[in-house]
């Protein structure tokens, strides 16, 4: 796997048109904003079957919101036999910051990251309120969420995000 900047991506695609470009965000995120010529292949649904139409030896560009999920997808794709993977550093955020054009959709679904922050906050607040009003042991709900957030930071994965990605409102 190789990490490349937005500018490097543009130069490489101009030099060899027809590149394989995968957007590994979730369907709801893709519906909000996407790049031309990128095919949706969400990280949560990434499998041999979902990438069967792509050529494994060909250069494959990967994009997500910030670059983290694209790196995870690259690791999975390497195990499936893809040999030339390029992750666009900073993802769609870097693309937009560079002033590049984005195809905007009409989806009103929050980004997965925003959904995770809301759900974690709601669970922590619920645990705190319930521990003060119902039973002191409800404080362990808040502690459990805090431990999950720390584990998520250390491992650079997000279990809550993976669960939320499978929710019906995130499938389009």
Handedness of CA 139, 145, 151, 153 (dihedral sign): negative
- According to DSSP, the β-strands at 103-104 and 20-23 are unpaired
Which pLDDT does position 1 carry in this prediction?
Answer: 87
Domain coordinates of the chain in residue numbers? Answer: 2-104, 112-170
- Given a cut of 50, the residues of the chain with pLDDT beneath it are none
For 52-55, the CB contacts below 8 A with 24+ separation are 54/20, 54/22, 54/82, 55/20
Contacts of 51 (CB under 8 A, 6+ apart): 22, 41, 77, 80, 82
Which pLDDT does position 93 carry in this prediction?
Answer: 93
52-101: pLDDT as tens digits: 999 999 999 999 998 889 999 999 999 999 999 999 999 999 999 999 99
**Facing residues of 121 across strands?**
none
Which pLDDT does position 162 carry in this prediction?
Answer: 85
Which pLDDT does position 172 carry in this prediction?
Answer: 65
Contacts of 1 (CB under 8 A, 6+ apart): 71, 74, 75, 78, 85, 86, 87
Please state, in angstroms and rounded to a whole number, the distance separating the CA atoms of residues 30 and 112: 11
Please state, in angstroms and rounded to a whole number, the distance separating the CA atoms of residues 14 and 37: 13
CATH placement of domain 2-104:
3.40.250.10
Please state, in angstroms and rounded to a whole number, the distance separating the CA atoms of residues 76 and 46: 8
Handedness of CA 90, 82, 166, 131 (dihedral sign): negative
Which pLDDT does position 7 carry in this prediction?
Answer: 95
Token pair for 167: 């929710």
């Amino acid at each position: 796997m190789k990490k490349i900047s937005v500018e490097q991506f543009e130069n490489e695609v101009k030099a060899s048109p027809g590149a394989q470009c995968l957007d590994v965000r979730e369907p709801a995120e893709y519906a909000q904003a996407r790049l031309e010529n990128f095919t949706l292949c969400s990280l949560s649904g990434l499998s041999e079957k979902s990438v069967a139409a792509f050529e494994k030896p060909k250069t494959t560009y990967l994009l997500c919101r910030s670059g983290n999920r694209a790196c995870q997808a690259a690791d999975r794709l390497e195990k499936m036999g893809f040999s030339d993977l390029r992750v666009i550093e900073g993802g769609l955020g870097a693309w937009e910051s560079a002033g590049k054009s984005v195809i905007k959709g009409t989806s009103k679904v929050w980004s997965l990251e925003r959904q995770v922050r809301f759900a974690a906050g709601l669970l922590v607040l619920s645990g705190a309120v319930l521990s003060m009003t119902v039973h002191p042991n409800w404080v362990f709900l808040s502690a459990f969420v805090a431990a999950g957030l720390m584990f998520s930071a250390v491992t650079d994965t997000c279990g809550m995000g993976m669960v939320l990605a499978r929710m019906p409102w995130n499938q389009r």
